[in-house]
Each structure stands twice: as structure tokens, then as C-alpha cells.
Amino acid sequence: MIAPSSARQALRRQTASDHDRVDQAYSTFDLRSRAGYRAFLRAQADPFLAVEAAIDRFDPAAILPDWPTRRRADLLREDLSDLGEPEPDPALLEIGAAERALGAIYVLEGSRLGGAMLARSVPPDLPGRFIRSTPAPQRWRTLIGLLDEHLVTPMQRDAAVDAAKEVFALFANSAERQKRTNDVE
């Protein structure tokens, strides 16, 4: 008999193409230049701020007590402000269920891991609170454990996967819009 895959494996497997689309969309930003880095942060801002605010409104404390320490929206706002960017006005999203919150958190926490690699390209004279916010391996392991604890049934995993796919799409679409805007400028 085959052992059931973990919730993380299900999320990873079922969102692989979505993750690849986001990686591809953001890989073209030149993080070494002020203009390229500013465009990268603007592309991050709308989806990131909207998703994090939706998670806040859902209030995941019952399933993820350390959520407040994982938040990075203020870091992103501060970096944008340092670059002379206006306060973003993200869309209003709703999470609605613990499974969806976990799917969204999975994407945001995964972006922290990816950001650690991207941060190496950002010159030290540019604001980097958001991209340099250090991934904590223990927090990632805690999240993986919570995914397995809370996403037990196929329906729960499907809800988390659907939310993760929606979040990945928000990020990819925002990057593509930002690139079109930069092509016009």
C-alpha cells in the first residue's frame, strides 16, 4: 500500500506549474538596478499586501499562533516608501476558511525562502527589509507540520491547493502587469 503524501507534497506537486510561472515572471526584473528593484517591489506589493491583509482578517491565530511574527507587509511598505513609491492600495480579498488560509500562507512563506536567494542580487544601498527578511527554518518546519495536521482530507487539501493557485496567479499577473507598465514608461 502506498503511504499518503503529505499536504506539503500535495501543495508542491499540484502548484508546480503555478510556481514556475511566478518564478519566470519575476526572473526578468533587474534587481541590481534601482529602477528594476523598484518595479520588482511594486509587482510584489499588490498581491502580497492583499493576501496578507486577507489572512489578517481571517485571523489564523488558532491554527498558526506565530502569524504576527511572519507578517512582512510593513517591511514592504517601508522599502517602497524609501524608494519614493506611494502607499499601494491592494485589492480586497477574502480567505474564508482555515484550509484556504494555510494554502495562502504556504505561498507567502515560500516566497520568503525564494527571496533569500534573490536578495543576493540587491545592492546594499537599496532598501531590503522585505526581501532580506530572514527565512527561519524552524518556522517553515512548523508550517509544514501544521499543513499535515490541518489538511487531512482530500477536500481540505484541494481547498488549500485552490487558494495557493489563486495566490500564485495574483503574483504572476502582477509581475506581468508591472513589466508591461515598465515597457511603456
Q: What is the DSSP letter of 173?
A: H
**Structural domain of 161:** 7-183
Structural contact between residues 106 and 164, judged by C-beta atoms closer than 8 angstroms: yes
Structural domain contains residue 2: no
Question: Would you state the pLDDT for residue 183?
Answer: 62
Categorize the per-residue pLDDT at 3 as very low, low, confident or very high, splitting at 50, 70 and 90. very low
Does residue 21 sit within a domain? yes
> What's this model's pTM, rounded to 2 decimal places?
0.93
Q: What is the DSSP letter of 3?
A: P
**Domain membership flag for residue 122:** yes
Express each pLDDT in 73-113 by its tens digit. Answer: 999 999 999 999 998 888 888 998 999 999 999 999 999 98
pLDDT mean over 45-74: 94
Assigned domain for 97 exists: yes
Instruction: Report the number of distinct structural domains present in the chain.
Output: 1
Amino acid at 97: A
What's the CA angle centered on 130, arms 26 and 56, to 5 degrees?
100
CA–CA dist 134, 14 (Å, integer): 27
Task: State the average pLDDT over residues 133-162.
Answer: 91
Radius of gyration of the chain (CA): 16
The residue type of 103 is G
Task: Provide CB contacts within 8 A for 40, sequence distance 6+.
Answer: 26, 29, 31, 178
* CATH number, residue 44: 1.20.910.10
pLDDT value of position 184:
43
pLDDT at residue 34 greater than cutoff 90: yes
Q: Are the C-beta atoms of 161 and 10 separated by less than 8 Å?
A: yes
Residue 1 included in any domain: no
Element (H, E) at 21: helix 16-27
